[in-house]
Amino acid sequence: MAQVMMSEVIPLHSSEGQRLRTETSQKALHYQPILYKIFQKQFNSTYCGLVSSIMAMNANFIGQHGHFQDGSPHVPFTEANIFTFKETQNILKQSEVEKEGCTLEQVHDLIRAHGYNSVLYHAADSSLEEFCAKAKCALNQNSLTSVIINYDLKVIYPHQNVGGHFSPLCAYHEESDRFLILDTWPKTEECWVKSDHLFNSMNTVDPSVSKTRGYIIVSK
């Protein structure tokens, strides 16, 4: 499977990356302003799945209730409090997540345990065309629907010593056929990636479950 070369990744905060975001946000089609505003990097090195879930659920919550105080979001879930909920404790053991992280199925089950809808797709059982169609549709729901991807970070950034990873998608730029990944890993930047390259990064095997990675559509 071909790897994505660095030149094919457009950092969000580059001039080109900002141009793509501006064009996407102005069209207000495949763009989620709430998710963009509440985006945060993970603090714990194994919490990418948790942080991605937290952002998706919080974006949905704000999208429904509009809870902003003094311009800042008032959200129910944080990286610090997620394990205080019985819904989380029934699905995950904190000690295991801190050691090994989460699988795609565990993130799916966690979201459902908190009362949100979650539809899971393994890349091997999906296709590039299906992924693009579902992701674009979800990104057009003004943060009421989110997309969490489970992918091999080394396919996007070959120099990183990180394999399986989770992050939410925030936007899709139609003309360049690129998705905006709000990368939760502290050592890499949010970036625009071509749809086929992104799908290739999901179509990799998670050795802990012997299944391909994939994506989750989250809604309420």
Please write the tens of the pLDDT for every residue from 141-180. Answer: 777 899 999 999 999 988 877 789 999 999 999 999 999 9
pLDDT tens readout for residues 34-81: 899 999 999 999 999 999 999 999 999 888 877 655 556 678 899 999
Q: Locate 63 and state its tokens.
A: 């999208």
Q: Name all contacts of 71-74 with Cβ < 8 Å and 24+ positions apart.
A: 73/34, 73/37, 73/38
pLDDT at 157: 86
Q: Which among 190, 198, 215, 218 is positioned nearest to 39, based on CA atoms?
A: 190
Amino acid occupying residue 19: R
Q: How far is CA 143 from CA 32, 124, 172, 213, in A?
A: 5, 27, 13, 23
pLDDT at position 140: 87
Neighbouring-strand partners of residue 172: 179
pLDDT for position 6: 41
Q: HSE of 198 in the Cβ direction (CA atoms, 13 Å)?
A: 29
SS3 146: strand
Residues 6+ away with beta carbon under 8 Å from 124: 203, 211, 212, 214
Model confidence pLDDT, tens digit, residues 86-112: 999 999 999 999 999 999 999 999 999
Angle at 185 between CA 215 and CA 206, to 5 degrees: 45
What's the distance, Cα to Cα, between the start and end of the chain in Å?
Answer: 36
Residues 6+ apart with CB under 8 A from 146: 32, 35, 55, 56, 59, 60, 138, 168, 169, 217, 218, 219
Asked whether the predicted pLDDT for residue 4 surpasses 50, the reply is no
Least confident segment among 5-9, 53-57, 216-220: 5-9
Whether residue 5 has pLDDT greater than 60: no
* Model pLDDT, residue 27: 79
Task: Please give the average per-residue pLDDT across 29-35, as a whole number.
Answer: 87
Confidence at residue 1, expressed as pLDDT on a 0 to 100 scale: 37
Q: What is the pLDDT of residues 181-209, one digit of tens each?
A: 999 999 899 999 999 999 999 999 999 99
Q: CA 39, CA 3: separation in Å to the nearest integer?
A: 27
